[in-house]
């Protein structure tokens, strides 16, 4: 069984990413809490993965040969939920239940309740380990699907990431592609030359170099350039005998000018004025609001 054969263009994916940012902001505003900066840095790549890369079937989310996706940076859950909803796993209007009691859309991904969530995650670094296990399981069971895992750059502070990076290279796991969302800001992070100025946990080439040092094949790309990202993943799939890290350079809060690169938008609810301005910048002419 394979998915319906509808082919999406990079322009379609960009439009889904735009819609996702609108829905993310609506959901966070409705819930009165949630993350914005990380979901926005990931949105273009998630749109590319779900509409242009992964072999999945929203009608049959537990299909055994589907490609797997693990959002190891689980606090960006609303970005994943939004993409799953746009892809047809559940109704878009359900996004407004985000973070409420009894909702299928919990603060961090829960594989036991949300259709399309392949692995629970959120305690940082754990999703990455589980994704490696999925890839190893695929090899053990003779299945040729690909496992995609998205890891945050701040998340790479966690030691378990490097435990897994070592083991994956030892096994030459070439059926896993790690997308590293290198948005260069953490929730609090390291202070630069002023309190407001926060700097990346990994300066310059440090992050890509670390993955290379662990014997991963590294591809660097602009995570907001969808055609370039699609090419990077295409190249990653061709690599044999090594796991691949797509180190995606992104901007935290990408898509809304006053959120971009501001660490305070890691997790923040927009007020009415900010929301209206953001909707305008995201091209939502009706002012947004579900």
Q: Is 120 in the site for another protein (CB under 8 A)?
A: yes
Candidate list 133, 227, 261, 288; residue touching another protein; CB under 8 A = 133
Which helix (H) or strand (E) segment holds residue 272: the answer is helix 272-281
Distance between CA atoms of residues 108 and 257, nearest Å? 26
Q: Is 174 in the site for another protein (CB under 8 A)?
A: no
User: CB neighbours of 41 closer than 8 A, spacing ≥ 6?
Assistant: 181, 183, 223, 250, 251, 252, 253, 254
Q: How many residues bind another protein (CB under 8 A)?
A: 34
Q: Is 239 in the site for another protein (CB under 8 A)?
A: no
Least distance in Å: CB of 130 to another protein? 4
Least distance in Å: CB of 177 to another protein? 15
Question: CB of 178 within 8 A of CB of 71?
Answer: no
Distance between CA atoms of residues 112 and 104, nearest Å? 9
Of 27-66, binders to another protein (CB under 8 A) are 64
Of 93-112, binders to another protein (CB under 8 A) are 110-112
Q: Is 122 in the site for another protein (CB under 8 A)?
A: yes
Q: Is 25 in the site for another protein (CB under 8 A)?
A: no
Candidate list 9, 55, 100, 166; residue touching another protein; CB under 8 A = 166
User: CB neighbours of 62 closer than 8 A, spacing ≥ 6?
Assistant: none
Q: List own/partner pairs for 256-260 with CB under 8 A and 24 or more apart.
A: 256/21, 256/25, 256/40, 256/281, 256/282, 257/281, 259/36, 259/37, 259/40
Candidate list 12, 57, 163, 281; residue touching another protein; CB under 8 A = 163
Q: Is 76 in the site for another protein (CB under 8 A)?
A: no
Binding site for another protein (CB under 8 A): 64, 70, 110-112, 118-123, 125-126, 128-138, 140-141, 143, 159-160, 163-164, 166-167, 170
């Amino acid at each position: 069984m394979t998915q319906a054969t509808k082919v999406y263009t990079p322009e379609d994916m960009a439009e889904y990413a735009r819609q996702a940012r609108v829905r993310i902001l609506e959901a966070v505003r409705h819930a009165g809490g949630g993350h914005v900066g990380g979901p926005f840095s990931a949105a273009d790549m998630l749109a590319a993965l779900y509409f242009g890369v992964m072999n999945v079937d929203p009608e049959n989310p537990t299909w055994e040969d589907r490609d797997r996706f693990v959002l190891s940076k689980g606090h960006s859950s609303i970005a994943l939920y939004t993409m799953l909803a746009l892809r047809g796993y559940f109704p878009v209007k359900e996004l407004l239940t985000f973070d409420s009691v009894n909702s299928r859309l919990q603060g961090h991904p829960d594989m036991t309740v949300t259709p399309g969530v392949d692995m629970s995650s959120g305690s940082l670094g754990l999703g990455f380990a589980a994704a490696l296990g999925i890839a190893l399981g695929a090899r053990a069971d003779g299945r040729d699907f690909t496992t995609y895992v998205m890891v945050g750059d701040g998340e790479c502070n966690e030691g378990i990431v490097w435990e897994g990076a070592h083991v994956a290279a030892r096994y030459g796991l070439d059926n896993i592609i790690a997308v590293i969302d290198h948005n260069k800001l953490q929730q609090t992070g390291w202070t630069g030359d002023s309190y407001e100025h926060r700097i990346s946990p990994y300066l310059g080439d440090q992050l890509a170099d670390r993955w290379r040092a662990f014997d991963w094949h590294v591809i660097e790309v602009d995570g907001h350039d969808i055609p370039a990202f699609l090419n990077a993943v295409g190249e990653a799939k061709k690599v044999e005998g090594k796991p691949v890290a797509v180190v995606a350079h992104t901007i935290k809060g990408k898509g809304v000018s006053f959120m971009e690169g501001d660490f305070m938008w890691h997790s923040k609810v927009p007020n009415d004025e900010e929301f209206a301005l953001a909707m305008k910048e995201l091209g939502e002419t009706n002012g947004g609001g579900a």
